[in-house]
């Protein structure tokens, strides 16, 4: 029986993250360089576990996601990413990649962030590279922009930078800095209609896109300040404003992209209602219909109960600030 070193095998686990300030639009689509900084929290309840094994005798790359071999574009994205790692390591070995999510893929719960950060760590370690966190963040970004923020524990900021070596995430606050809870209200667990890649491509065609970037000049420092002061009311307002801003840009791009559905609106109205009843809760969404409700730990049970009663909510996932990308023995 060969040991793991000889088998060039490694396993990593990595969280999805929810962005409070979002990455939307690519300045450099090949390198995934964004137009603006973004800020996120890792999700303790949504992760991807990935095993990568290289073998000089393999004749091709094999990619299995959630028990099914993936083909075409999805496979190509993984193979292209493995090619980057192989180039870094100076090796030409093919790999077997087995990846499993503990949450629905492609439903706007940032499966690409957890997937590519886990693949970056497992793929680089298995081939013999020991990347420091910044380099790992840069590598993960090349797979999927938002993946660069999953590397660090707790809360991260992705500094947009201006090129490959200056665009990476850094830790912003440890998981225990603030007892925030993110409850994902899943209103549709199927594949979303437009991918985030399509959304990024269309973003700059929105006449609102420039205004959004201008607004971010104020919103980013304001959100950082509210976060560091643990001012939940102010923080929540900014998180919601930011989510609406992304979706307005998406809805007004050419072609227009509507990620929201009936369930999304039902949840948004419920969140407004909770606030009217004195329960502080705020919503945000990524490129999909599912809604992330941000609240404080002490209110999370009541918020979760209110969400689970809704007609269009299939189930909820409760997340606390989670750990970053890790190797598993």
Give whichever of 47 and 306 is closer to ligand PMV, judged by the CB atom. 47
DSSP class per residue in 96-111: EEEEEESS-TTSSS-H
Residue 266, φ and ψ in degrees, nearest 5? -60, -45
Could you give the angle at the alpha carbon of 314 between the alpha carbons of 267 and 264, nearest 5°?
25
What is the x/- site pattern for ligand PMV, positions 286-315, by CB under 6 A? xx----------------------------
Give whichever of 62 and 189 is closer to ligand PMV, judged by the CB atom. 189
Give whichever of 19 and 267 is closer to ligand PMV, judged by the CB atom. 19
Binding window for ligand PMV (CB under 6 A); candidates: 61-69, 144-152, 235-243, 316-324 = 144-152
Q: Is residue 199 within 8 Å of residue 24, measured between CB atoms?
A: yes
Can you tell me which of 11, 99, 196, 316 binds ligand PMV, judged by CB under 6 A?
A: 196
Whole-number Å distance between alpha carbons of 148 and 170: 9
Q: Among all chains, which residue has been given the structure tokens 């109205």? A: 269
The end-to-end CA distance of the chain, in Å, is 17
134's enclosing H/E stretch is helix 133-143
The nearest distance, CB 55 to ligand PMV, in angstroms, is 30
Can you tell me which of 19, 46, 216, 274 binds ligand PMV, judged by CB under 6 A?
A: 19
The nearest distance, CB 39 to ligand PMV, in angstroms, is 9
H helix intervals, 55-95 = 72-89
Give whichever of 126 and 294 is closer to ligand PMV, judged by the CB atom. 294
User: Could you list the residues that contact ligand PMV (CB under 6 A)?
Assistant: 19, 22-23, 38, 110, 112-113, 144-146, 196, 200, 286-287
């Amino acid at each position: 029986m060969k040991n793991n070193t000889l088998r060039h095998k490694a396993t990593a686990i990595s969280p999805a993250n929810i962005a409070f300030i979002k990455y939307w639009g690519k300045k450099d689509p090949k390198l995934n360089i964004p137009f603006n900084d973004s800020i996120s929290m890792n999700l303790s309840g949504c992760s991807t576990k990935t095993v990568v094994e290289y073998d000089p005798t393999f004749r091709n790359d094999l990619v299995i996601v959630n028990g099914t071999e993936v083909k075409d574009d999805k496979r190509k994205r993984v193979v292209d990413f493995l090619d980057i790692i192989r180039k870094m390591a100076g090796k030409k070995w093919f790999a077997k990649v087995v990846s499993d999510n503990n949450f629905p893929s492609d439903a706007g719960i940032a499966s690409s962030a957890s997937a590519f950060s886990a693949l970056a760590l497992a793929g680089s370690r298995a081939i013999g590279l020991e990347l420091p966190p910044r380099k790992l963040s840069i590598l993960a970004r090349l797979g999927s922009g938002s993946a660069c923020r999953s590397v660090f524990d707790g809360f991260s900021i992705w500094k947009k930078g201006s090129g490959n070596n200056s665009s990476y995430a850094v830790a912003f606050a440890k998981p225990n800095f603030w007892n925030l809870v993110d409850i994902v209200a899943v209103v549709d667990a199927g594949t979303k209609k437009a991918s985030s890649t399509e959304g990024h491509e269309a973003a700059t065609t929105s006449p609102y896109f420039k205004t959004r970037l201008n607004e971010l000049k104020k919103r980013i420092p304001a959100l950082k300040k509210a976060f560091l002061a643990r001012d939940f009311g102010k923080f929540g307002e900014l998180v919601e404003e930011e989510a609406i801003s992304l979706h307005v840009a998406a809805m007004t791009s050419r072609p227009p992209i509507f990620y929201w559905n009936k369930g999304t609106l039902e949840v948004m109205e419920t969140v407004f209602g909770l606030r009217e009843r004195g329960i502080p809760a705020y919503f945000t969404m990524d490129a999909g219909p599912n809604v992330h409700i941000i609240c404080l730990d002490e209110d999370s049970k009541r918020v979760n109960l209110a969400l689970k009663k809704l007609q269009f909510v299939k189930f909820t996932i409760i997340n606390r600030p989670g750990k970053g990308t890790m190797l598993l023995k």
